[in-house]
Chains A and B, each alone.
Chain A
Amino acid sequence: MLALGTAWPQATNGGMTIQPIRYSADPSLSSPVLFFRTALTDFAASVRPARLFALSSIRSRYRRAWFGYLWLFVPAIATAAACAALRYNNIIVVRDTMIPYPLFALTGMLLWQGFVEGIVMPYQQVSAHRHMLTRTPIPHETVLLAGLYDLGLNAVVRLGALFVLLAAFGVPALASWLLVPLGMALLIGLGVAVGLILSPLSLLYDDVGRAVGVISGFGLLLTPVLYPLPEYSLLWLNPVAPLLDGTRGWIAGVGPDASFFVIGGAGLVGMVAGWLLYRLARPRLVERLG
């Protein structure tokens, strides 16, 4: 049934019959097989558009900025430099670190930024494209995956800047540096998992977004970002601590302990769980965000 000339292109599916679509009041999980199959189909269909989407978003974002990617690591450099100056003047006391303190603080800041950006990414992506998502049946995975691509690019730029500075400070390059991106990815994954699990609430209530902002502010102080934690401290219960400290350890050639992999794996499982939770909540969000 293909139209010719100026006629409208009709739906085809490689010659296959298109399955009827049914929308009803039944909960999505009343047919779990269909739910998971649709989730995977939407995910697969979103991979390519998400890449285009991310590229377009990045282009449009930096089209109006002179300093472009500098904004990704300059704030971290400024914070690290300020902390180094405070420590040098004995205003704050931080014990010796395994790499020069300014680089220690900078690494911590860059990794922390990746984690926090992961938390806010789902909310930011859905909010930024709210108009489109509530008026077109685009799979929301497209904007979420685009957000992940964006986070990945940011991480690459930050790690590139970090490695340049490490070399500039004369820190000897080690094979374990190659594992630092894995640590960064696991931190981002943990952040995205938290963000996705919170997204049904954060998209409905502004309070959640504000609370995340506040918690990520003082969370910086409860996590070994700008200082090393003593060996025995309650702050090690903070799940970000083993991931962040373990990743930074690779720069000095020190391997992480088992908790690094347990929490990293939990973050990845949490991402999948958060995604499925978001899919369940999506129709109810769309009817209230539109």
Chain B
Amino acid sequence: MAGPVLEVAGVSKRFCRNLRRSLAYGVSDITSELLPWRRRSSDLRRDEFWALDDVSFSLAPGEAMAVVGHNGAGKSTLLRIVAGLFPPDAGEVRVNGRVQSVIELGSGFNALLSGRENAQLILSWQSGAGHGLAASVEAVNAFAELGALFDAPLQSYSTGMRARLAFALATQVPSDLLLLDEVLAVGDQAFQRKCLRHIRDRLDAGGSLLFVSHNVFQIQTVCRRGLLLDHGRVTFEGSSVDTLDRLFESQADAGRAEEATACDPDRPRVERLLAQAPDGGGVRTGGPLELKLEYFMPEPIEAAFSVSLWTRDLSVCIAILAGSDSVILPAGHGERTCIISKLPLMAGNYLVRASIFDPVTMHPHALHGYSGPATPLKVKGELDRLMILRRDAGQLVAIESAWSDSN
């Protein structure tokens, strides 16, 4: 297939906040469909907003692109337009091939029918399967691993089992472009791995993927490209790693603003946590790192300190650096410093949290980076091919090793 499988050019979509007015606009829009010669305004009407605003990108065969952003950024709207569920209000979408969308798991299921009956039903219209329908249905059961439950009514299925059935159905529908919207958020780990393996096989075979997810691991596993949406606009397009970095930066910015308005001056608190090289320069893999904690105690208190290093999505704690002894902290402002002489973290963006806690009960007196934003830590490294490979693989720490010939 020559050329991109998907081209999105200047696509905009408007929605209305007011339901009653939205219905009236619906009648107006339907009337416009009946009068195609009548010029339609592409301006916002009262109570409308741009759910998508001038979005453009393209996707080549074999490519996988993650679409990320905050809730309400326009991700699902974009996927629905590409799936052909409703048209854009400006711009156009061109799809060069067949599209298969899994917008919401189990949305096409009938709860009173069995998994088998649902599979027959859905495959009959999605894949146009005629004589091969029975084989496709069996393949769905084999992928979903539902066993005898495949013939039980769907209302007896758990959410995870429905997810298995929905994804297994998607594997049996031919397509050049697959649209997945938060469909791997449920199901057990083993099944998620199986789905991800399947998606990668599909990409290797030349299929393309547009993937909406909040799961960083899944995005990094299947996507090389990323698109960041914010209030319907594309704010960044690049590699999936860089796109996620931008997303987390924007989340941290939002959190900082929130914490600034929620600070209580009479409570023990961590006022600031600095993560920097002792010489004030950049932090590098294998180099030193200084973590300086500035705090305030309204009264003397016995306490211990810890700081912890996290991945940028705060899903993985890489290390907790706890002070071994407790100290009596006087009332007022103070500082505490933790030095790491050789930082083993790979180049990338991380977050640092801190805790001042009671050494006996372990109950925290003050926290930093839990309810509010954590301190960002940017680690630099040599950008060679091996480094890019390690970063794309999600490697977190660099462990020194020595290789020798065993013969």
A64 to B97, CA, bound (A): 42
Instruction: Answer yes or no: A72 CB below 8 A from chain B CBs.
Output: no
**Known: A23-B87, A59-B117, A136-B101. Is A284-B81 also a contact (CB below 8 A)?**
no
Instruction: Answer yes or no: B351 CB below 8 A from chain A CBs.
Output: no
Q: Which residue of A has the minimal Cβ distance to B118?
A: A56
A285 to B118, CA, bound (A): 25
**Known: A11-B174, A52-B120. Is A284-B85 also a contact (CB below 8 A)?**
no
**Known: A8-B175, A29-B34. Is A52-B112 also a contact (CB below 8 A)?**
no
Is A280 touching B34 in the complex (CB atoms < 8 A)? yes
Is A142 touching B95 in the complex (CB atoms < 8 A)? no
Is B99 touching A27 in the complex (CB atoms < 8 A)? no
Instruction: Answer yes or no: A233 CB below 8 A from chain B CBs.
Output: no
Interface residues, chain A, with chain B CB atoms under 8 Å away: 1, 3-13, 18, 20-30, 45-46, 48-49, 52-53, 56-57, 59-61, 63-64, 131-132, 134-139, 142, 200-201, 204-205, 277, 280-281, 283-288, 290
Number of A-B residue pairs with CB-CB distance less than 8 Å in the complex they form: 181
**What are the 10 tightest A-B residue pairs by CB atom distance, in nearest-first order?**
A8-B202, A11-B98, A60-B112, A49-B125, A3-B205, A24-B92, A27-B36, A287-B86, A132-B108, A135-B107
Expressed in whole angstroms, the minimum distance between the Cβ of B12 and any Cβ of chain A is: 8
Instruction: Answer yes or no: B93 CB below 8 A from chain A CBs.
Output: yes
Is A1 touching B206 in the complex (CB atoms < 8 A)? yes
A276 to B88, CA, bound (A): 21
Residues of B contacting A139 in the complex (Cβ-Cβ under 8 angstroms): 125
Residues of B contacting A45 in the complex (Cβ-Cβ under 8 angstroms): 125, 128
Expressed in whole angstroms, the minimum distance between the Cβ of A169 and any Cβ of chain B is: 38
Expressed in whole angstroms, the minimum distance between the Cβ of B284 and any Cβ of chain A is: 42
Residues of B contacting A200 in the complex (Cβ-Cβ under 8 angstroms): 27, 30
Residues of A contacting B90 in the complex (Cβ-Cβ under 8 angstroms): 25
Instruction: Answer yes or no: B89 CB below 8 A from chain A CBs.
Output: yes
Is A281 touching B30 in the complex (CB atoms < 8 A)? yes
**Known: A3-B205, A7-B204. Is A21-B175 also a contact (CB below 8 A)?**
no
Instruction: Answer yes or no: B124 CB below 8 A from chain A CBs.
Output: yes
Is A23 touching B201 in the complex (CB atoms < 8 A)? no
Interface string of B23-60 (1 = CB under 8 A from A): 10011011011111000101000000000000000000
Is B201 touching A22 in the complex (CB atoms < 8 A)? no
Is A8 touching B205 in the complex (CB atoms < 8 A)? yes
Instruction: Answer yes or no: B339 CB below 8 A from chain A CBs.
Output: no
Is A23 touching B92 in the complex (CB atoms < 8 A)? yes
184-217 of chain B: CB within 8 A of chain A: 197-199, 201-202, 204-207
A288 to B202, CA, bound (A): 34
For B, the interface residue count at a CB cutoff of 8 angstroms equals 69
Residues of B contacting A201 in the complex (Cβ-Cβ under 8 angstroms): 27
Is B94 touching A21 in the complex (CB atoms < 8 A)? yes
**Known: A21-B99, A56-B113, A280-B33. Is A11-B87 also a contact (CB below 8 A)?**
no
Is A59 touching B113 in the complex (CB atoms < 8 A)? yes
The 17 listed contacts between A and B (C-beta, < 8 Å) are A10-B207, A11-B97, A23-B88, A24-B91, A24-B93, A25-B89, A27-B32, A48-B124, A56-B113, A60-B112, A131-B107, A136-B108, A201-B27, A204-B26, A287-B86, A288-B23, A288-B26
Instruction: Answer yes or no: B22 CB below 8 A from chain A CBs.
Output: yes
Q: Which residue of B has the minimal Cβ distance to A20?
A: B96
Instruction: Answer yes or no: B298 CB below 8 A from chain A CBs.
Output: no
Expressed in whole angstroms, the minimum distance between the Cβ of B101 and any Cβ of chain A is: 7
Is B23 touching A204 in the complex (CB atoms < 8 A)? yes
**Known: A8-B207, A21-B84, A136-B103. Is A64-B121 also a contact (CB below 8 A)?**
no
Expressed in whole angstroms, the minimum distance between the Cβ of A56 and any Cβ of chain B is: 5
Is B172 touching A9 in the complex (CB atoms < 8 A)? yes
B121 touches which one: A46, A49, A287 (CB < 8 A)? Answer: A49
**Known: A20-B94, A45-B125. Is A63-B112 also a contact (CB below 8 A)?**
yes
Q: Which residue of B has the minimal Cβ distance to A23?
A: B93
Residues of A contacting B40 in the complex (Cβ-Cβ under 8 angstroms): 25, 27
Residues of A contacting B204 in the complex (Cβ-Cβ under 8 angstroms): 7
Residues of A contacting B176 in the complex (Cβ-Cβ under 8 angstroms): 10-11, 18
Residues of A contacting B26 in the complex (Cβ-Cβ under 8 angstroms): 204, 284-285, 288
Instruction: Answer yes or no: B173 CB below 8 A from chain A CBs.
Output: yes
Expressed in whole angstroms, the minimum distance between the Cβ of A68 and any Cβ of chain B is: 14
Contacts beyond the supplied A10-B176, A56-B113: 9 A-B pairs with Cβ under 8 Å: A8-B199, A9-B174, A18-B96, A22-B92, A23-B88, A25-B91, A136-B107, A280-B34, A288-B23
Expressed in whole angstroms, the minimum distance between the Cβ of A11 and any Cβ of chain B is: 3
Is A24 touching B85 in the complex (CB atoms < 8 A)? no
**Known: A7-B201, A8-B175, A288-B23. Is A28-B33 also a contact (CB below 8 A)?**
yes
Instruction: Answer yes or no: B104 CB below 8 A from chain A CBs.
Output: yes
Instruction: Answer yes or no: B80 CB below 8 A from chain A CBs.
Output: yes
A246 to B201, CA, bound (A): 64
B88 touches which one: A24, A46, A138, A277 (CB < 8 A)? Answer: A24
A16 to B87, CA, bound (A): 26
Instruction: Answer yes or no: B171 CB below 8 A from chain A CBs.
Output: yes
Instruction: Answer yes or no: B337 CB below 8 A from chain A CBs.
Output: no
Instruction: Answer yes or no: B341 CB below 8 A from chain A CBs.
Output: no
A142 touches which one: B80, B81, B125 (CB < 8 A)? Answer: B125
Residues of B contacting A63 in the complex (Cβ-Cβ under 8 angstroms): 112
A285 to B126, CA, bound (A): 21
Residues of A contacting B126 in the complex (Cβ-Cβ under 8 angstroms): 136, 138
Residues of A contacting B36 in the complex (Cβ-Cβ under 8 angstroms): 26-30
Instruction: Answer yes or no: B156 CB below 8 A from chain A CBs.
Output: no
Residues of A contacting B83 in the complex (Cβ-Cβ under 8 angstroms): 136-137
A197 to B141, CA, bound (A): 41
A25 touches which one: B87, B95, B173, B206 (CB < 8 A)? Answer: B87
Instruction: Answer yes or no: B367 CB below 8 A from chain A CBs.
Output: no
